[in-house]
Amino acid sequence: MDFELLGVCLDRKILRRGSDRAPYELRKTFSELETFIDGIDLREHWLKDLGNIVDPRSYDDIINQMKNKLDTKFSVILGGDHSISFSGVKTINPKVFVSFDAHPDCEPLDLSFRSVTRVIAEEGYKSYLYGVRSFSKEESKYLKNNKNIKIATLDDLKNIKNPVYLSIDFDVLDPSIMPSVSFPEPNGLTFSEVLDAIKALAKNLVAIDFVEFLPTENTMSTVIAGKLIYSALAEIVKSRLQ
């Protein structure tokens, strides 16, 4: 199976910035990781590195560059803040958007990391949230009244049959595992729980992004982030072999 890797170096947050550097830092750790994962050797599956989109002028600019760079292979996109998922979805055009995130990102705002799931859903994409555990009052009210966004269980994920674009915000993990995010939330998912959710979707995935990793001097966090990316790719490969 062939993958293509693209970084999007964008972080428009005002505070706790730095996720625009994540594509560079994550690539550095890839060569240090074991590629044989749960019976799959990722060295046998070609990963074409398309480089980075740097200092994009707008989200339309990201979409245009993605359309020029991405081919027909399975796309792996490294953010960047969570707003870059909008450009990925508009480029790939799946039937379903799934976000693993501690937050629903459904604030009534123009496109940003705080509103991206709402914006995507209002573009007509059926959307699912998994791992959410921190809401604003406005978001809670919005989700109760919106039929195009569902807070999903693992069984809900297993029952999705259409092509899926999956976005993984690293803050879905418990901060004891992944502290290197802008807005950590307690009572998060374990590494294994995130993998179980990826397995539930793997056969229907058409693209995946990883966002909101905040590079720090804690190199262990970078290794954990890299291992999650590699483990996700291994699960996607396995799903195609079944």
Domain boundaries, the chain: 3-241
3-241: CATH, from 3.40.50.720, 3.40.800.10, 1.10.3720.10, 3.40.1010.10:
3.40.800.10
pLDDT for 15 equals 85
The first and second tokens of residue 154, run together, are 């693992």
For residue 218, pLDDT beyond 90:
no
Confidence band for 171, pLDDT divided at 50, 70 and 90:
very high
DSSP state of 172: G
- What is the rounded CA–CA span in Å between residue 102 and residue 107? 14
- pTM of the predicted protein model: 0.97
Please compute the mean of the pLDDT values over residues 30-40 and round it to a whole number. 94
